[in-house]
Amino acid sequence: MSEERQENGSRDRVLLVAVADFYERNYASMLLQRFGYHVFAVDTTKEAAKFVSNILPRLVLADERVARAQGRDLLSSMKQEPKTSAIPVILLTSADEKKAERLFNGAGYEAVLSLPLEPEALYRAVQKTIEAHPRSFIRISASIDARLDSGPDGFVRSSVVLSENGMFLRTTITKPARSRVMVSFVLMERTITTDAYVLYSHGFDEYPQKELGIGLRFETISDEDKAAIRLFIHKEIGQGIAKK
């Protein structure tokens, strides 16, 4: 799960959040930024249409008040223009999931998400819509104490990209791809130790084309440890974001 140099180009990671309510707009924007996307935000249909036409974002997330305001339908207007017709739109609605499915089924939206947003639902919907290889688990960048195998140096403060399924560990230590290592790390005073499969390993000979570090998939991690990782990720992505 390497940063393998931000999956696509930066332009492919530009998203537009078009939401009328300040708190909902800010919450969605901050979550998406923490998921690694470049986010712009507007609060009117006119601003959204102008941005889409000029910038051509990879994805638009719009609430009902912006998507269908004052007799203007944002999705329809985008579909009528050749350069914007292929840009997907995810609709955010106050209706519950079942009602939303009835109301908007066949309307042309890539997905419909209920407000208030749940981070996992938002992450998966965006991944499924725009990523060539969608991920199921939220990944975040973090600084934690970690070590590979049972080295004499003990735990070292490390920069990682973490999910409940694995991690990218930024390190100058290299390991053969497809080998297995033991990795230990500390989250919220809990030490987690698991066998891990080395997906890839990039050393100085590949830098700067490839980021220094090792991509690991957890192999023997317990359900309790997965739950601890999930809790840590939720706390990290929600830290400092005001919900309505």
CATH architecture of residue range(s) 11-130: 3-Layer(aba) Sandwich (3.40)
Q: For the chain, what are the domain ranges?
A: 11-130, 140-238
pLDDT tens figures, 142-186: 999 999 986 666 899 999 999 999 999 999 989 999 999 999 999
pLDDT of residue 2: 43
End-to-end CA distance of the chain: 33
For residues 92-115, one letter each, b for 16 or more C-beta atoms within 10 angstroms of the residue's C-beta and e for the rest, the string is bbebeeeebeeebeeeebbbbbbb
Global pTM reads 0.83
pLDDT tens figures, 108-134: 999 999 999 999 999 999 999 999 999
- What is the band of 4 on the pLDDT scale with cuts at 50, 70, 90? very low
pLDDT of residue 244: 64
**Per the omega criterion (within 30 degrees of 0), is the bond before 208 cis?**
yes
Q: Which amino acid is at 130?
A: I
Class of the CATH domain delimited by 140-238: mainly beta
pLDDT tens figures, 58-113: 999 999 999 987 667 899 999 999 999 999 999 999 988 778 777 787 789 999 99
